[in-house]
A = this chain, B = another copy of it.
């Protein structure tokens, strides 16, 4: 099934000629779609366990070949590997790609500290987090434009500078603009800008009874949209960034308590000040 292609260890014309995508879901599928849209000649090898789904992804034209597992036979030597698995399965897949002969490996995990610490000694690995996605799962929702105009965080870790440059060019080629953070900084910030909003969305959805949903307006709809995401995916993300998420939840509990206290005191000035501070922050987006 796999295309017979060898790419040496370089980049041709600024574009990766061959990319191995481990995990062809929404993110992996969208990476494949963006690569194929940018250059239909690109080779995209998908790695996934489910034969029927890999065949379907190939029929859709997202991937040009596939295999059920990472191996030297499946990975064209020197190609770029991208791991798009749930965060608790990323480290293993990165090691497999490196052993199979990838020239550089990156990932799309929503948490970075554990992954990058475990892979600190790998000179060919650069951690990344393209901040894009949706509550949908599966390559059926793949979108070549998913990354356009979004931010990708790069965690250089212990990678060689030429590998960092290659991985940076790869993510940029999908339309992402780059930001550099240490893996620990990434996790502290994303706990506030992504993981906490997901928990708050789950809380907003969780306290409403089924028969009350008819009284939900567009505000509820928007606020809880991301609560529809996969339980497995979000369990692994929250556990993969547990300490920072606990801290972000504590800050939310404190602010929520301030809103409640102002209401209990019927303190209009305090409520207005709390609301105005949040509204101003939001309007800066």
Which residues of A are interface residues toward B (Cβ below 8 A)?
A: 131-134, 150-151, 153, 179, 189-190, 192-194, 196-210, 212-232, 234-235, 238-239, 242, 245-246, 248-253, 255-257, 259-260, 263-264, 266, 268, 271-272, 274-279, 281-285
| From B134, B218, B221, B239, contact of A218 by CB (8 A) | B134
Q: Inside 8 A of A215's CB, which chain B residues have their CB?
A: 131, 151, 153, 179, 189-190, 193-194
Contact B193 A208 (CB under 8 A): yes
What are 6 A-B pairs at a CB distance below 8 A?
A: A189-B215, A193-B220, A202-B275, A227-B281, A231-B279, A239-B268
Contact B199 A256 (CB under 8 A): yes
Contact A256 B208 (CB under 8 A): no
Nearest 5 interchain pairs by C-beta? A202-B278, A206-B278, A231-B276, A231-B275, A131-B217
Q: How far is the CB of A189 from chain B (nearest CB, A)?
A: 5
**For the complex, what is the distance from the CA of A96 to the CA of B82, rounded to whole Å?**
67
Q: How far is the CB of A127 from chain B (nearest CB, A)?
A: 15
Given A200-B200, A281-B205 in contact, is the A242-B224 Cβ separation under 8 Å? no
